[in-house]
Structure 1
Amino acid sequence: MNPLIEDGEDVSYKAANGRQCGFKRGCPTFNGYDLELNFFSVSPEFIELTTGNPVVFGFDGEPIGYDDCSLKCDSGFAIELWAEVIGEECRENAQGQWIYFLLPWVTNGVLGDMEIGSEAVSLTLSGASRAGGGWGVGPYNVLATNAANAPGPMLTPIDESCHRRTFITTIAPPTAVCDYVPVTGPNCYTPTP
């Protein structure tokens, strides 16, 4: 995740004799993150959700691949990442600790170079974060909601001006699935235009 920051314009005030009598540093603008994610195992559904490229189905209706088509800049997705924290758990009843990363709106998903050979194939996905996304507190249980480590959604919604949220959680990442999973529930919201 590389931050995209546009330098602000500095303003210098000069007197009639040419000497500087005032200076104001320009305020930089944060435009989001350029993302590069490496995957060693992906499904056709994952490719469709992240790039907008359509799935190819087999005779039985099961996804077997995908098409590479024109770039779809009008679609987007959210991505959640967990990184295990090595060391002592800080909470009672914890079964481990993870750093949780949420990017609630990623756009311009593009697959990178692919090298096919005798070694394992991995895919690189690049994209860019955007503010917003309507994530709210999210549809998933990612945070302890009490001292007994009961899992629940985030306690506060991510602001519509934010590109990323990061925190330590004692709730383990979910079991991976390759099929489409509908996102429903009252925890996400549709941003107002």
Structure 2
Amino acid sequence: MSCPLIANADTMRLTRVDGCGRPICGDDSAFVFDCFAKLSMNANVDEGDDVEYKAANGRVCGFKRGCPSFKGYDVELDFFSVSPELIEIATGNPVVYGFDGKPIGYDDCSVRCNGGFALELWAEVLGEDVCKTTSGGHGAWIYFLLPWVSNGRLGDLEIGSEAASLTLTGATRASGAWGVGPYNVVAVDAAGMAGPMLTPLGANCHRRTFLTTIAPPAATCAYAPVTGPPCLAS
């Protein structure tokens, strides 16, 4: 399928990462959800300084356009689910627990500038040949990976007569250690077997995007485990 069309965002997964951008293994290290309105990934670019040589008579003798420097993406997520687990992974602020040990709320304390989270987004794809495969697939998705988002924080919150939503902002970082990741997100053979990404993400990269026939994970309202191959090797 050479010209996939994005239909709509489907599912999102957040995974906590450490101060080097490595996924953190554990039973409470991820959260999968689909109750969100939109995800914005706004490019942060320094346009650089132009160099111009102008003669006394006003003629331009030489000119060199400044080289832009890509700083990363400023991330903004609008979502509806007031989930303590989601907010804890994204911001690092603590969960409030009830008498039975289950999360019932969260505290707003500070902005976590080290560590952070990885963000994965699956968006459904339209196309005549989406289901014309012999691998037993059930569709196709555009998969977005932001392997390291830091400085996660919640924005303003207004509660009134209308539907309320939360806004999470953050910024991507490069030089992370996500590698091929701990999840099976792409077909690794002609039979459609799911496996990790086939090549690791480069050290200076902020985002990866590709077409996949591997369906996203099911959304839950609880912490999800991270137990992939990197965890077994550690």
What TM-score comes out, normalization by structure 2 length?
A: 0.74
Aligned 8 A contact 2:183 2:228 in 1: no
The one-letter amino acid paired with 2:205 is C
Aligned equivalent of 1:92:
134
Deviations 1:81-135 (A, max 9, x none): 0010122316433210111000000011111222223444321111111113211
The one-letter amino acid paired with 1:144 is A
Aligned equivalent of 1:152:
195
Aligned equivalent of 1:64:
104
In structure 1, the residue corresponding to 2:87 is in which secondary structure? helix
Alpha-carbon distance in 1 for matches of 2:47, 2:141: 34
Q: Does 1:34 align with 2:74?
A: yes
Which structure 2 residue ranges, 5 or more long, are not aligned? 1-40
Displacement of 1:72: 2.0
In structure 2, the residue corresponding to 1:47 is in which secondary structure? helix
| Higher relative contact order, chain-length normalized (CA < 8 Å, sep 6+) | 2
Which structure 1 residue ranges, 5 or more long, are not aligned? 189-193
Alpha-carbon distance in 2 for matches of 1:148, 1:178: 32
What TM-score comes out, normalization by structure 1 length?
A: 0.88
Alpha-carbon distance in 2 for matches of 1:47, 1:35: 15
How many residues are paired up? Answer: 188
Aligned equivalent of 1:2:
42
Aligned 8 A contact 1:104 1:132 in 2: no
Distance change >3 Å, CA 19–CA 121, structure 1 → 2 = closer
Q: Within 5 A, what are the aligned runs for 1:1-193?
A: 1-14=41-54, 19-88=59-128, 89=130, 91-93=133-135, 94-187=137-230
Deviations 1:36-83 (A, max 9, x none): 111122421111110111000001111111001122222311000001
More strand by share: 2
Deviations 1:18-37 (A, max 9, x none): 64332221110000111111
The one-letter amino acid paired with 2:167 is T
